[in-house]
Amino acid sequence: MQKRPFLKALGSSLLLSSTPTWLHAQNKPIRVGSTLSLTGPLAGTAVMHKISGEIFIEQLNKRGGLLGRQVEWVVKDDQSKPDLARTLYEQLISGDQVDLLMGPYATANSLAAMGVAQRNGKVLITNSFGIPSLAKYDMHFPAYVMGIDPGTTVPNTLLDSIAASGAKPQSVAMVTSKFPSVVFLSVGAREVFKKRGLREALWLEWEFGNREFGPIASRLKEANADMVWIGSIGAESMQLLEAMNKIDYKPKIHFHVYPTPGPLTKSPLAANALTLTTFEQHAPFTNNPAYAEAIKMYNERAAKANLPDTVFELQAANAFTGWQFLEAGVKGSGSLEDSKIAAWLKKNHVDTIIGKVRLDGPNNYGDDLNRIKQLQGGKWLVIHPKEVAFPGSKMMF
Amino acid sequence: MPSAGLLLQALASGVFLGALYGLIGLGVGLGWGLLRQINLSHFAWVFLSAYITYELKTRLGVDPLISLLFLVPLFGLLGMAVQALLARFAITPFNSLLVTFGITVSVEALLQWIWSADFRRMASFYDEHKFRLGSVVVTYSEALTMGMALLAVGLAWWMLHRTDMGKSVRASAEDPAIATAFGIHAKRLAIWVAGFCAALAACAGVCVALTFTLAPSQIFAWVGVVFAVVMVGRLGSALTPLIGGLVIGISESMTMALIAPTWAPLVAFTVLILILLLRRGDE
């Protein structure tokens, strides 16, 4: 009588030990490795990518994960340093042995990660790579959908939006940070503005990390151009606006390249500021009910994380789009093999929160989906192009 | 040619920025010269004070000047406690650099944990209101920073040169062994000096919160230029950090106005190198 349970247990353990290894592997979660700038100067924006990514993974796992397996995100802190990002991506591949990669935040760190991904033949999806001409790796896919030549398309979109409003600026004053992806756009815009007949009243550059904006504001005031291009990143826009306000100068038209949205949203000085976006939390972007829960979760978690602006916008949307690329690539190819995922992504359009995206152009860039938004009454509203503009909105001066 | 208005406004910007450099540099320079400590945590105290000022103003509506009544004694005690700890373990000047760097990194992490890494900006009466001196616009916060820097420098000078305690501190810095032989309790004095320096950091923090956008990582952005200010002046001196601050602040600002903003960061260190070379020639 006592032999039976023993034999049962022996039988079960033999059965388990003879289970093929591929079956064990199928039960293990798929591990996606990435770094984010959780500390350092880029942390203020990278935290939005983290919240957005976590929400995506949660929802993905609820709907069954990838290829029947749950997904686990291994995220490490690159401290906003490209050299550290490079080391951590090596570690993720060789030490943590992750199945797939997801890109870090910001251009320099993405470039560092790209080299590692290329050496190891891994697909790398980045969500904030700002200089498309540098993305030479054929298995890199950009979720900040800005086309191959944003230095031309972005300023043209801006000038088109201004022309659509009826305004006709004759001169432009351009001031810009020397942060690589920012100065790249500013240099491109400089050429476009010249070609479109705008007189350049001022061109100034400052080092990233500059504290004193008073003299720059004074020179802008003296230039007195019809339009001001502010090549800013992070808090620089706010700092320059404050310096301009101090000397009672308010440009009629002011465009900002990559400002941190939170402080601008809360300041009356930033009224009518123009900038770029691929998604804003208003119609028609929010018309798809499939994303309502993710947006609500983001709003709640951003508030819990004490972010000054809890709205789901450009940064959160780009991060979300990156994860959608990965999901589509794996599901579409039915494989975790990087070459198959890459081949699928190049051949197919991906439905994302920012719209249908193609990745079949030079350096895997497709169209430029940047739109122009303006801060009106404390809210960012897309005003151009018309088909995605907030209903009834127009450019304010 | 830039207009006179532009030049005067740039000059004013340089003067007020220089006053803040001087205020921060005063605390660093006194600690370095009198205590032989390269105290990087001074920058951490400045930003901790700035964030507390921001929090008190935005959550409770406390006027930044009123918050000084609370911050000055709090940071004074904090500075004294850290100094007592450094003295307890007989930290050498070089090791003080490492220990205070560790404290600074910890404070940066603490700020990030409480307030996140995103940028914060305190709206206040002092930054919103301004007055004119001819064609030059001055905000109340800039005037306040200048006033506080002058007050701090005056107080430090008076304490060092007109009180027994100050004379004892200078004697102790000059020759600790002889000072001790004359009955000066160097360790106790060092604790008071550290407390005073940390209290100055609290004042500078209020000025930073009034004028600048805050982010935890900004702590380190001030280190280079303030060290240059301290070196342009003389270690342990009450007056020279303000002079050094003004020289560097004005040079930076005029470079931005006349040449290009991108050259401004080089100015502080070029001025430092030139002054050190000239001083070497004097010796």
B133: contact with A, CB 8 A cutoff: no
Assembly ipTM? 0.80
**CATH number assigned to the domain comprising residue A207:** 3.40.50.2300
Residues B253, A307: C-beta atoms closer than 8 Å: no
Out of B109, B116, B127, closest to residue A307 by CB: B116
Q: Which are the contacts of B191, defined by CB distance < 8 A and separation ≥ 6?
A: B80, B83, B84, B87
Secondary element (H or E) of residue A204: strand A199-206
Question: Is B58 part of the contact surface with chain A (CB cutoff 8 Å)?
Answer: no
Nearest CB among B9, B221, B252 relative to A218 is that of B9
Residue A292 token pair? 């309502």
Chain A hits for B120, CB-CB cut-off 8 Å, are: 263, 308
* Pair (A162, A243) in one structural domain: yes
- Which residues of chain B does A305 touch, with a Cβ-Cβ cutoff of 8 Å? 116
> By C-alpha distance, which of A237, A204, A205 is closest to A222?
A204
Output the DSSP codes for chain B: ---HHHHHHHHHHHHHHHHHHHHHHHHHHHHHHHH----THHHHHHHHHHHHHHHHHHHH---HHHHHHHHHHHHHHHHHHHHHHHHHTT--HHHHHHHHHHHHHHHHHHHHHHH-SS-B----HHHH-EEEETTEEEEHHHHHHHHHHHHHHHHHHHHHHHSHHHHHHHHHHH-HHHHHHTT--HHHHHHHHHHHHHHHHHHHHHHHHHHS-B-GGGGGGGHHHHHHHHHHS-TT-SSHHHHHHHHHHHHHHHHHHHT-GGGHHHHHHHHHHHHHHHHHHH-
Has residue A5 got a pLDDT over 60? no
Q: Is beta strand A371-376 parallel, antiparallel or unpaired with respect to A379-384? A: antiparallel
Q: What is the mean pLDDT of chain A?
A: 91
Task: Supply the pLDDT for residue A25.
Answer: 55
Same domain as A359, residue A309: yes
Q: Do A210 and B2 touch (CB under 8 A)?
A: no
A124 touches A338 (CB < 8 A): no
CA distance B71 to B86: 22
Is A272 found in the same domain as A158?
yes
If residue A175 lies in a helix (H) or strand (E), which one and from where to where?
strand A171-177
Q: Is B137 on the interface with A (CB under 8 A)?
A: yes
Q: Give tens-digit pLDDT for A259-303.
A: 877 778 888 899 999 999 999 999 999 999 999 999 999 999 999
Measure B68 CA to nearest chain A CA, in Å: 24
Are A311 and A350 within one domain?
Answer: yes
pLDDT, average across residues A146-160: 96
Q: Does B106 touch chain A (CB under 8 A)?
A: no
Cβ-based contacts of B115 with chain A (< 8 Å): 306
Whether A15 has a pLDDT exceeding 70, the answer reads no
Segment among A198-202, A310-314, B128-132 with least mean pLDDT: B128-132
Contact A308 B253 (CB under 8 A): no
Q: Is B177 exposed, middle or buried (0-12, 13-18, 19+ CB in 10 A)?
A: exposed
Q: Is residue A265 part of a domain?
A: yes
Q: Do B221 and A47 touch (CB under 8 A)?
A: no
Contact A209 B261 (CB under 8 A): no
Query: A247 lies in which domain range?
Result: 150-285+372-388
Tokens 């400052």 sit on residue: A206
The verdict on a CB contact (< 8 Å) between A246 and B217 is no
Residue of B213, B263, B269 best to disrupt the A interface, most CBs of A under 10 A: B213
A208 and A281 assigned to the same domain: yes
Residue A18 lies in a domain: no
Pairing of strands A350-352, A355-357: antiparallel
Of A13-17, A166-170, B48-52, the range with the lowest mean pLDDT is A13-17
Residues A230, A268 within the same domain: yes
How many independent structural domains does chain A possess? 2
A204 → closest Cβ in B120, B215, B261: B261
Give the minimum alpha-carbon distance from B163 to chain A in angstroms, rounded to a whole number. Answer: 38
Evaluate whether residue A300 is within a structural domain.
yes
B212 touches chain A (CB under 8 A): yes
Count residue pairs from A and B with Cβ separation < 8 A.
126
Min Cα separation A245/chain B (Å): 9
pLDDT in tens, chain B (283 residues): 778 888 999 999 999 999 999 999 999 999 999 988 889 999 999 999 999 999 999 999 999 999 999 999 999 999 999 999 988 888 887 888 899 999 999 999 999 889 877 778 888 899 889 999 988 999 999 999 999 999 999 999 999 999 998 999 899 888 888 888 888 888 889 999 999 999 999 999 999 999 888 888 889 989 999 999 998 888 888 899 999 999 999 999 999 999 999 888 888 788 888 888 887 655 4
- Domain membership flag for residue A14: no
Indicate whether A190 and A333 sit together in one domain: no
Judging by beta carbons within 10 Å of its beta carbon (0-12, 13-18, 19+), is residue B112 exposed, middle or buried? buried
CA A73 to CA A100: how far, in whole Å? 10
Q: Does A1 map to a domain?
A: no
User: If you measure CA to CA, which chain A residue comes closest to B114?
Assistant: A306
Beta-strand pair B136-139/B130-133 = antiparallel
Q: Is the pTM of this model over 0.90?
A: no
For residues A375 and A156, give the distance between their C-alpha atoms in angstroms, rounded to a whole number.
20
pLDDT surpassing 70 at residue A3: no
Distance from CA of B116 to the nearest CA of A (A): 7
Indicate if A248 and A382 belong to the same structural domain: yes
Residues A215-236 have pLDDT tens digits of 999 999 999 999 999 999 878 8
**DSSP at A174:** E
Closest listed residue to residue A278, CA positions, set A182, A377, A110, A154: A154
| Residues in CB range of A348: below 8 A, 6 or more apart | A328, A332
A182 lies in the same domain as A91: no
Cβ contact A222–B6 (<8 Å): yes
Is residue A17 one of the residues assigned to a domain? no
Distance CA B81, CA B77 (A): 6
* Same-domain status, A133 and A168: no
Query: What is the tally of helices (H) and strands (E) in chain A?
Result: 13, 14
Q: Is residue A128 part of a domain?
A: yes
**Distance in Å, alpha carbon of B187 to nearest chain A alpha carbon:** 37
Q: Residue A369 pLDDT more than 90?
A: yes
CA closest to B225 among chain A residues? A211
| Cβ separation B212–A211 shorter than 8 A | yes
Interchain CB contact of B262 with A (< 8 Å): yes
* Yes or no, beta carbons of A41 and B215 under 8 Å apart: yes
Q: How far is CA A154 from the centre of its chain?
A: 16
On whether both A303 and A379 belong to a single domain, the answer is no
- A211/B256 CB distance under 8 A: no
Residues of A in contact with B127 (CB under 8 A): 242
Which of B135, B141, B272 has the alpha carbon at shortest distance from B212?
Answer: B141
Rg for chain A (alpha carbons), in Å? 24
Candidate from A205, A242, A263 with C-beta closest to B261? A205
Residue A395 located in a structural domain: no
Residue A338 pLDDT > 50, yes or no? yes
- Same-domain check for residues A128 and A156: no
| Nearest C-alpha in A relative to B252 | A212
List residues in chain A touching B: CB distance below 8 A. Answer: 39-41, 43-47, 80, 175, 178, 204-207, 209-212, 214-216, 218-219, 221-222, 234-235, 238-239, 242, 246-248, 260, 262-263, 266-267, 305-308
